[in-house]
């Protein structure tokens, strides 16, 4: 078949065309339909498939994380119970309102037992926090370095929680070998649900 025969093809009578031309036309039409189908329908489905696969990966990761937590649920419950018991033990170390006076006496007795001379022992106003109140006590004591160490160790050994903050130690004027320690001792009181 030559070019002139191709130019003389009648589009109104495709059935009379040579078999090779019909085959080429069918291939071209099929290719156009395939390309059109891809761009109009299949491409959107591929994009949707990628989006759904990403969601699947996220959900799979979330599932694995939750499965791991579920597998360790009993261990978490045991740990929570242990933490509750520990928290209860710590709360018992916080004095209630009636025990604060006794604790103040314990702090001063600890200092005297260590051989310190109190120049200042001034309980400050209570500072309420979330579930406890902080009671700062301004201290100024005179003694030796080792007596200060014994005093702080004695505070740490008390059955109630007492912490020492803002410590400054300076030599006592006109008294060689003696030091002045200024500090804030803080004790804590549990605030019950009634707010006191």
| 54 and 118, same domain (yes or no) | no
In a domain, 153, yes or no: yes
What does the alpha-carbon distance between residue 180 and residue 165 come to, in Å, rounded to a whole number? Answer: 15
Give the number of residues written for the chain: 196
* Residue 157 is assigned to a structural domain of this protein: yes
pLDDT of res. 110: 87
Nearest 10 degrees: Cα torsion 9, 12, 16, 20 = 60
Q: Indicate whether 113 and 148 sit together in one domain.
A: yes
Residue 196 within a domain: no
Rounded to the nearest integer, the mean pLDDT of the chain is 82
* Count of structural domains within the chain: 2
Same domain flag for 98 and 35: no
Residue 164 belongs to what H/E stretch?
strand 162-171
pLDDT confidence of residue 60? 93
Q: Judge if 105 and 186 occupy the same domain.
A: yes
Contact 186, 165 (CB under 8 A): yes
Instruction: Assess if residue 85 is contained within a domain.
Output: no
- Structural domain contains residue 88: no
Kindly state whether residues 165 and 132 are assigned to the same domain. Answer: yes
Low-confidence ranges of the chain (pLDDT < 70): 1-8, 90-100, 192-196
In a shared domain, residues 114 and 146: yes
38 shares its domain with 104: no
- pLDDT tens for 22-67 read 888 889 999 998 888 888 777 778 888 899 999 999 999 999 988 8
Q: Do 64 and 99 have their domain in common?
A: no
Structure tokens at 102: 């006794």
Q: Which residue has the tokens 């006109």?
A: 174
CATH code of residue 139: 3.30.70.60
Q: Which residues contact 132 (CB under 8 A, 6 or more apart)?
A: 94, 188, 189, 190, 191
User: Does residue 80 belong to any structural domain of this protein?
Assistant: no
Enclosing domain of residue 24: 1-71
pTM over 0.75: no
């Amino acid at each position: 078949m030559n070019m002139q025969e191709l130019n003389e093809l009648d589009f109104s009578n495709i059935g009379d065309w040579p078999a090779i031309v019909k085959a080429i036309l069918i291939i071209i039409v099929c290719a156009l339909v395939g390309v059109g189908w891809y761009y109009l329908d299949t491409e959107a489905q591929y994009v949707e498939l990628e989006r759904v696969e990403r969601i699947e990966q996220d959900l799979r990761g979330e599932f694995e994380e939750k499965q791991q937590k579920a597998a360790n649920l009993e261990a978490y419950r045991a740990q929570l119970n242990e933490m509750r018991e520990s928290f209860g033990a710590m709360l018992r170390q916080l004095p209630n309102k009636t025990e604060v006076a006794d604790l103040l006496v314990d702090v001063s007795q600890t200092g005297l037992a260590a051989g310190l001379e109190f120049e200042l022992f001034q309980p400050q106003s209570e500072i309420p926090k979330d579930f406890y109140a902080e009671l700062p006590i301004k201290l100024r004591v005179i003694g030796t370095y080792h007596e200060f160490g014994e005093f702080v160790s004695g505070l740490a050994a008390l059955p109630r929680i007492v912490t020492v903050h803002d410590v400054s130690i300076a030599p006592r004027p006109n008294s060689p070998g003696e030091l002045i320690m200024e500090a804030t001792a803080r004790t804590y009181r549990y605030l019950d649900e009634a707010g006191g």
